[in-house]
Amino acid sequence: MTNVSAVEASFSMSGRAEYEAAVQRLRDASRTYYGAGYSLMDDAAYDRLRLAVLDWEAEHPDETAPDSPTGRVADGAAPAGDVAHTARLLSLDNVFTPEQLTAWGASLRRRLGHEPAGGFTVEPKMDGAAVAARYRDGRLTQIITRGDGTHGEDVSHVIGTVVGLPEQLPVPATFEARGEVLFTQEQFEAANETRAAHGAGVFANPRNGTAGTLRAKDRPYRLAMTFWAYGAVELDGVPFLPAGAGHAETLAAVARAGVRTTADTPAGLHTVATLDEAQEKVDAIAALRASLPFGIDGVVVKADSATEQATAGFGTRFPYWAVAYKLPAVERQTVLQDVFWEVGRTGVLAPTAVLAPVELDGSTVTRATLHNPADILRRDLHIGDTVTVYKAGDIIPRVQAAVVELRPQDAVPVPLPHECPHCGGGIDKSQERWRCAKGTACALAPLIEYAAGRDILDIDGLGRKYVDALIASGDVGDVADLFTLTEEQLTVASG
């Protein structure tokens, strides 16, 4: 199966056989993700397939598979583990549009029997892995994955490597912090450098890296991750939370104990009175997305009041008093078809990835930056690889990594240039960013033209033809020569 076809296919299911095939693909994708730490398809493709399965199940309730992944926490694929959760650790229902958020608000109102009076909280939905971190008398004693919501895996081997989850708190508190562990972008780059240095495959993206790192107990190296709490429960019957604490108050108690919460992120935790105001905060956090130092895949809206949360209650997979407003995909998988090299004005050789077209954050992406040869080698990129590509807002799309497990047999490492792609001369490889050995002289004409342009020197009438003539005559060897040109030199050049 290739990812591109999975993404571009339209999932209208005409019969039971297609439904069952789709359910199987969901299972395969989830199992690979949780079990092997890589993704057979990206989130956008997964969500689309999942929605199509849900649609079919809504229309054919009698034929719905009893073990359909759509009815289970983490789609039933996360390893359950053998540690019982203190209280179920559930996922969240999703909405994708303002209308769906309004509809969620209406369903909450029905469950409460009145307008929600306790207001809403709005916070970023970090794109990592949910864990429960147990503190006893101020010591971090255990970290557990979400698993199937009732049982998780003990991943305490990462204690000491997670920023935001100190091993020792300044107060002797006993409680369980619940939140998301992930690699920030900076930690992700560092992790892949460490992996490359150990001959291990790079992570395709920060979230896959998180899943893999939580499960790997016998690595010869440790990788730093980060945690933010989005909830807490009491542990061992020891009082911790203020009586009747709502969501914002709960997080404040966690923060006072010394553990990081979503309120500490640049996106913050916001308390608002109405769902309209919540939508405004959703939009504000979405607008911050490209500038955040970590990935988010949505924004979480919760009824803040503990009383209203208790009245609204829980379903089998998620609470009725909270919802995740999912943001458009900013990361997709596509195929790296080629790499071409250009010489910039400063003589630097810049590689650009040619990608199979993919829809990303509202535009079709066919090119992405690859930085430099060392970066290509570090990522072990091959032509033909399925790669993860990230783009948010106005930033230049970047290739994050190859999904090594999906590499075709005929894939070849990205060829690095042996000669300057502009002038055919030698290459200076003494730094990470390779340069033409001629330096700025290689691309002198575009450099001079650029310098003469309106934004810099603003020399009227000094176009490319003129520049070429001045270089050919030897009158201009660098930008400084422009200042000492004589009228005669200019006249000769223009003739």
Which positions are catalytic?
125
φ/ψ of 177, rounded to 5, equals -85, 135
Distance CA 317, CA 122 (A): 21
> How many helices, marked H, and strands, marked E, lie in the chain?
13, 21
Residue type, 11: F
CA 242 to chain centre: 35
Interface residues toward Zn ion, by CB under 5 A: 420, 422-423, 425, 436, 442
Q: In the structure encoding, which two tokens stand for residue 404, read together?
A: 């090594």
The SS3 call for residue 273 is: coil
Q: How far is CA 167 from CA 137, 181, 256, 258, 320, in A?
A: 11, 15, 15, 10, 33
Strand-pair category, 296-303 with 225-233:
unpaired
Residue type, 220: P
Residue type, 249: E
Rounded to the nearest 10 degrees, what angle do helices 16-31 and 43-59 cross at? 140
Element (H, E) at 28: helix 16-31
What is the DSSP code (8-state) at residue 299?
E
Q: How far is CA 464 from CA 359, 427, 444, 475, 491, in A?
A: 36, 25, 11, 15, 16
Q: What is the DSSP annotation of 424-487?
A: S--EE-SSSS-EETTGGGTTHHHHHHHHHSTTTT--TT--HHHHHHHHHTTS-SSGGGGGG--H
